Amino acid sequence: MPTILITGCSSGFGLETAKLFLERGWDVIATMRTPAASLLPASDRLRVLALDVTDPASIAAAAASAGPVDVLVNNAGFGAPAPIELTDPETAQSLFQTNVIGTLAMIQAVLPQMRQRRAGVIVNVTSTVTVKTLPVIGVYRASKAAVNALSESLAVEVAPFGLRVHIVLPGRSPETRFGQNARPHLRGADDPDYAPLLQQFVKSVQEDTGPVTHAPDVAAAIWRAATDPAAPLRIPGGADAEIWMAEAGL
């Protein structure tokens, strides 16, 4: 069976994607910064590897241990809500190191064997915040928009080798730990100029009763990207994602 390697499998989209591909008979390499095989069903088709996408040595070790990979899913990432002016330089560096450089490093680690075999699919998970102008998450949006641009160029570069690249764009997913993990990076709540903007942003999120993205939605979008040669470059990962992308003409 084909082999898929997924980053960021300790929770949320990555964990749900690993479960889906296991259920459907694939060999799954689920990577996490702190491996916890107990999060997934026991299976002889499952390998759980340690991987920190910000650590070149960790990437090299995981790639060597993984061996040939048919599908690479770059899912690991995090968000940080803060006005651009107030975003800590360290936070900005971490956002780009994880979301952009980490994705690039994983592509560079896995792509050579795909190119040699003239077979493989790369799926980069970004966000529909990249298709709409939003305040407070500007640096996060920039990091995910950079992955979109990277993916678009990569798709053109590797198509002659028989390889495919897809971007899965989830919407807002309250059920995942994304918001919880982003909260420590919040800045500006005590700033007299930015506080009203932040309060309005938080209120709009809390009071939003429209469609949202569920982790199985994203797993299904990744399944489509991995298995459907006719899948488009950009694939929405939830009901709200479909709406936002349609409004953006994508």
Q: Is 140 marked active-site?
A: yes
Active-site hit among 19, 132, 140, 194: 140
Q: What are phi and psi of 74, to 5 degrees?
A: -90, 95
Cα distances (angstroms) measured from residue 203 to each of 199, 209, 244: 6, 12, 20
Q: What is the pLDDT of residue 175?
A: 83
Q: H or E element: which one contains 30?
A: strand 27-32
Which burial class, exposed, middle or buried, applies to 180 when counting CB atoms under 10 A from its CB (0-12, 13-18, 19+)?
Answer: exposed
What's the predicted TM-score (pTM) here? Answer: 0.96
Within 10 angstroms of residue 25's Cβ, the number of other Cβ atoms is: 10
Q: What is the pLDDT of residue 202?
A: 83
Active-site hit among 19, 132, 144, 194: 144
173 Cβ contact list (under 8 Å, min separation 6): 12, 13, 212, 213, 214, 215, 218, 238
CA–CA separation, 123 and 107 (whole Å): 10
CA–CA separation, 246 and 250 (whole Å): 6
Q: Is 194 marked active-site?
A: no
Which burial class, exposed, middle or buried, applies to 210 when counting CB atoms under 10 A from its CB (0-12, 13-18, 19+)?
Answer: exposed
pLDDT tens for the chain, residues 1 to 250 = 899 999 999 999 999 999 999 999 999 999 999 999 999 999 999 999 999 999 999 999 999 999 999 999 999 999 999 999 999 999 999 999 999 999 999 999 999 999 999 999 999 999 999 999 999 999 999 999 999 999 999 999 999 999 999 999 999 998 876 667 667 777 888 899 999 998 898 888 888 889 999 999 999 999 999 999 999 999 999 999 999 999 999 9
